[in-house]
């Protein structure tokens, strides 16, 4: 039974929304090929590619060898031949064997060729913790890729957006690292499957997930839900939080961010990755440069601790939760 | 428990003894058995000789230019002309080639201009040519990454074949003995074998990975290892341009006809250092170099041409003039290579310059212009 069939009409899980987005992209463009470990008969370990092999055949939904560098390296070759490969890396912590192919080859070939080559490869990576997994299955490694010019790095957070973003990523002529928050795969929300509507935000735009006036909370991927929950609680305490879902981690949409800061004057950045050299550090620095005179307090960061991701039974103390976000919001009033 | 003394010591003990390299041209320039069957003609031999002579001239000029401070670095292909010319001349212009970083002779045969080959080493670009137009990919400096690119490209060709049966291109991929130690090489050989990608892997075993000899890199000969992956493997005397040409033509024909991927190990020798920054006298002795000089791939063919009377004085005079003209053109083109504006890098990082990149470019431009 396919994932889509398990949910009520009009309401899809984030995983099913991605599945429908992949289906749409494959139907729209014959050059789209999916490549990854166990994505065919099994439909991927998270079933995101469920049913696609039956629909499009094993030449377009390819079970790769168990070799991550090979997945990305051959995808580069396929792209040079005119295909649009969509790679699935089974878990975030398994992407490191492909690191050279991503940061030294995939990211650089366009610039190296003087703009002559296009390498439209999408690399899907289930990311983050919160599912009680073993080691190497709960990592947030986006900063490594954001630090490399030549890559676009995005993270989806909600079913409808995931459905559009995966299509936008595949249609993009640049390489895209596409993060999927694995603990949100089962979150449901209304989705209208189909092509990306004209009024959907572009792939490099942030989205105001909840409007507010007092504090800007910037989050992405799995942390967006946490920020929204914090906003609900804060409202009952009389504070209005504006939650921004970044969507694009590289490039960053500072237009949307600074417009929000202009309203609120207070900023909290939330992500699961360690704060040290994490995306929050970049955002805090840029906002300080751009909006110094507007800020009522230093930009606060809430993230994972600067340790390896801990064993599953302790991850609730590692992952930023609602209380830590609210504490940081309080912190912005201490100045 | 296994007694370590029982571990096999040689490839023969493992039952994977190497094949003797295929040869058509003796070291004194005599044609060996099989040459007639391989379709060796005077015209083919003259053409291969010409390409090798021009490649050597170009390589020498580039080396000199580095010594004169015009190039930051040069990686000489001296000694490997037969391996490169013989193989590239055995495939079609429509076949796609993935080089490593020392394939200058192959590149010249593909029609690349001397200036295009020098840009990377002069520091004016990281590529230097249109890889799609020449069907010759950019050089790959990280060892063996290109084997996976070649495999993926070949899988794309195979996918095209399913839709259009007339597609009969193949892919030719160069790499060295040192690169064979990388994970990517082993992933690619396995991946290509399993998927049947239309691809010829061409390993130039030039005996040295900077200062590490082949024997210290692999327990088994590389063609034996490739056979272990399930690839059709051939070993050829890489200093015998006729044998390399014949072996590659045969492998390419089999792959083009739908056969499985092939692996060719060409046994050759890197006469110069790894790069102009290298000092090969620290790790290899003069006697070894002298022995390989006796097997120089260019003089070997010259002996054949002379012995058979396949090329008269007129041919050699014309070739000498061509080499001189190439030499002058190379030196002039090198000195004319100017750095591009840094602005280009911002524009080429992504397909469309993002607002963030545009802002950085404008900051840089304003800063630079503030000194005007």
DSSP characters for A44-89? -TT-TTTTHHHHH-TTTEEE--S-HHHHHHHHHHHHHTT-EEEEE-
Same-domain check for residues B266 and B361: no
Same-domain check for residues B285 and B347: no
How sure is the predictor about B10, in pLDDT bands with cuts at 50, 70 and 90?
A: low
Q: To probe the interface with B, which of A29, A74, A285, A289 has the most B CB atoms within 10 Å? A: A74
Same-domain check for residues B226 and B281: yes
Residue B233 lies in a domain: yes
Same-domain check for residues B52 and B97: yes
CB neighbour class for B342 (10 Å; exposed up to 12, middle 13-18, buried from 19)? exposed
Residue B32 lies in a domain: no
Same-domain check for residues B158 and B206: yes
8 Å CB contact between A243 and A201: no
- Per DSSP bridges, beta strands B208-209 and B212-213 are antiparallel
- Which residue in the block uniquely carries the two structure tokens 């030196």? B331
Give yes or no: A137 in active site. Answer: yes
Q: What is the mean pLDDT of chain B?
A: 94
Which residue is catalytic, options A137, A271, A293, A317? Answer: A137
The span from the CA of B134 to the CA of B107, in Å, is: 9
Residue B359 lies in a domain: yes
Sort out which chain A residues have CB atoms less than 8 A from B157's CB and list them: 81
| Helical pair B42-67 and B313-336, crossing angle rounded to 10 deg | 30
Nearest to A115 among B162, B194, B348 (CB): B348
Same-domain check for residues B348 and B278: no
> Which 3 state secondary structure label does DSSP give A295?
coil
Q: What is the dihedral of CA B9, B11, B15, B17, to 10 degrees?
A: -150
Sort out which chain B residues have CB atoms less than 8 A from A115's CB and list them: 344, 347-348
Report the predicted TM-score, pTM, of the whole model to 2 decimal places: 0.95
- Cβ–Cβ contact A232 with B under 8 A: no
Length in residues, chain A: 335
DSSP3 helix / strand / coil % (chain B, rounded to 5): 50, 10, 40
HSE on the CB side for A183, CA within 13 Å? 20
How close is the nearest chain A Cα to the Cα of B124, in Å?
A: 11
Residue B52 lies in a domain: yes
Q: To probe the interface with B, which of A81, A99, A206, A282 has the most B CB atoms within 10 Å? A: A81
Q: Is the pLDDT of residue B2 over 90?
A: no
The span from the CA of B47 to the CA of B44, in Å, is: 5
Burial A192-215 (b: 16+ CB within 10 A, else e): ebeebeeebbebbebbebbebebb
Same-domain check for residues B348 and B309: no
Same-domain check for residues B73 and B14: yes
Residue B2 lies in a domain: no
Q: Is the pLDDT of residue B222 over 70?
A: yes
How sure is the predictor about B39, in pLDDT bands with cuts at 50, 70 and 90?
A: confident
Distances (CA, A) of B364 to A75, A107, B126, B344, B371: 34, 22, 21, 12, 12
Residue B98 lies in a domain: yes
How close is the nearest chain B Cα to the Cα of A34, in Å?
A: 13
The span from the CA of B61 to the CA of B42, in Å, is: 29
Distances (CA, A) of A193 to A25, A43, A182, B145: 11, 19, 21, 38
Task: Look up the CATH number of the domain holding residue B274.
Answer: 3.40.50.970
Same-domain check for residues B233 and B372: no
Domains of chain A in start order, with CATH, are: 10-191 (3.40.50.970), 207-331 (3.40.50.920)
Same-domain check for residues B354 and B276: no
Residue B1 lies in a domain: no
Q: What is the pLDDT of residues A67-99, one digit of tens each?
A: 999 999 999 999 999 999 999 999 999 999 999
Same-domain check for residues B223 and B280: yes
Interface predicted TM-score of the whole assembly (ipTM), two decimals: 0.94
Q: Which of A80, A92, A17, A9 is nearest to A47 (CA)?
A: A17
Residue B3 lies in a domain: no
Q: Which tokens sit at B293?
A: 């000089």
Range of the domain at B346: 341-372
8 Å CB contact between A72 and A106: yes
- Which residue in the block uniquely carries the two structure tokens 């404008």? B362
Q: Is the pLDDT of residue B9 over 90?
A: no
Q: ω into residue A251 within 30 of 0, thus cis? A: yes
How sure is the predictor about B38, in pLDDT bands with cuts at 50, 70 and 90?
A: confident
Same-domain check for residues B65 and B125: yes
Q: Which tokens sit at B287?
A: 């006697």
Question: How many domains, in total, are found in chain B?
Answer: 2
pLDDT at B343: 94
């Amino acid at each position: 039974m396919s994932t889509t069939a398990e949910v009520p009409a009009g309401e899809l899980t984030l995983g099913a929304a991605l599945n429908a987005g992949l289906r749409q992209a494959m139907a729209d463009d014959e050059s789209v090929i999916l490549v990854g470990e166990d994505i065919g008969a099994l439909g991927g370990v998270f079933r995101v590619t469920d049913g696609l092999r039956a629909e499009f055949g094993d030449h377009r939904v390819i079970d790769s060898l168990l070799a991550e560098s090979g997945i990305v390296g051959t995808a580069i070759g396929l792209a040079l031949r005119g295909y649009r490969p969509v790679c699935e890396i089974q878990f975030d912590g398994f992407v490191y064997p492909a690191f050279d192919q991503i940061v030294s080859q995939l990211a650089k070939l366009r610039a190296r060729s003087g703009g002559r080559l296009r390498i439209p490869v999408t690399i899907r990576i289930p990311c983050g913790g919160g599912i009680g997994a073993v080691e190497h299955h709960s990592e947030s490694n986006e900063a490594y890729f954001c630090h490399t010019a030549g890559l676009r790095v995005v993270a989806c957070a909600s079913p409808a957006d995931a459905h559009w973003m995966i299509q936008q990523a595949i249609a993009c002529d640049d390489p895209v690292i596409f993060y999927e928050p694995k603990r949100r795969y089962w979150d449901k929300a209304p989705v209208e499957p189909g092509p990306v509507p004209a009024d959907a935000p572009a792939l490099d735009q942030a989205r105001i997930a909840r409007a507010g006036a007092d504090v800007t909370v910037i989050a992405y991927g799995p942390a967006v839900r946490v920020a929204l929950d914090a906003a609900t609680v804060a409202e009952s305490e009389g504070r209005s939080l504006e939650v921004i879902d970044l969507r694009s981690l590289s490039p960053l949409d500072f237009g949307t961010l600074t417009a929000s800061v202009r309203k609120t004057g207070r900023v909290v950045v939330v992500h699961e990755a360690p704060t040290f050299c994490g995306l929050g550090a970049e955002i805090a620095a840029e906002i300080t440069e751009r909006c110094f005179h507007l800020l009522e307090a230093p930009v606060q960061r809430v993230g994972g601790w600067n340790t390896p991701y801990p064993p599953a039974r302790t991850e609730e103390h590692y992952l930023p939760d609602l209380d830590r976000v609210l504490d940081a919001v309080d912190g912005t009033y201490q100045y | 428990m296994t007694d370590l003394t029982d571990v096999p010591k040689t490839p023969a003990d493992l039952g994977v003894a190497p094949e003797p390299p295929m040869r058509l041209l003796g070291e004194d320039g005599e044609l060996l058995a099989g040459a007639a069957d391989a379709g060796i003609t005077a015209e083919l031999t003259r053409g291969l000789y010409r390409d090798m002579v021009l490649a050597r001239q170009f390589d020498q000029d580039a080396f000199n230019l580095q010594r004169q401070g015009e190039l930051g670095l040069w990686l000489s292909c001296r000694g490997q002309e037969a391996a490169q010319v013989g193989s590239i001349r055995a495939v079609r212009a429509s076949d796609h080639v993935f080089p490593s970083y020392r394939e200058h002779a192959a590149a010249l045969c593909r029609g690349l201009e001397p200036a295009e080959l020098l840009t990377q080493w002069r520091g004016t670009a990281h590529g230097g040519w249109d890889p799609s137009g020449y069907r010759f990919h950019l050089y790959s400096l990280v060892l063996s990454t290109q084997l996976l690119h070649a495999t993926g490209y070949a899988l794309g060709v195979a996918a095209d074949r399913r839709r259009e049966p007339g597609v009969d291109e193949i892919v030719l991929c160069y790499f060295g003995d040192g690169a064979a130690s990388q994970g990517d090489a082993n992933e690619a050989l396995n991946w290509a074998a399993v998927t049947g990608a239309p691809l010829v892997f061409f390993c130039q075993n030039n005996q040295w990975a900077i200062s590490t000899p082949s024997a210290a890199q692999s327990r088994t000969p590389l063609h034996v290892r490739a056979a272990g992956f399930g690839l059709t493997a051939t070993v050829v005397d890489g200093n015998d341009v006729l044998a390399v040409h014949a072996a590659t033509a045969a492998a390419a024909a089999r792959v083009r006809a739908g056969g499985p991927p092939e692996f060719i190990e060409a046994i050759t020798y890197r006469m110069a250092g790894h790069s102009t920054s290298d000092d090969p006298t620290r790790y290899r002795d003069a006697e070894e170099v002298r022995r390989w000089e006796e097997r120089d791939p260019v003089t070997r063919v010259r002996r054949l041409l002379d012995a058979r009377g396949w090329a008269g004085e007129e041919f050699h005079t014309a070739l000498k003039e061509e080499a001189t003209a190439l030499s002058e053109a190379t030196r002039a083109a090198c000195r004319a290579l100017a750095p591009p504006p840094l602005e280009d890098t911002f524009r080429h990082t992504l397909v469309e310059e993002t607002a963030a990149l545009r802002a950085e470019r404008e900051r840089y431009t304003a800063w630079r212009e503030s000194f005007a």
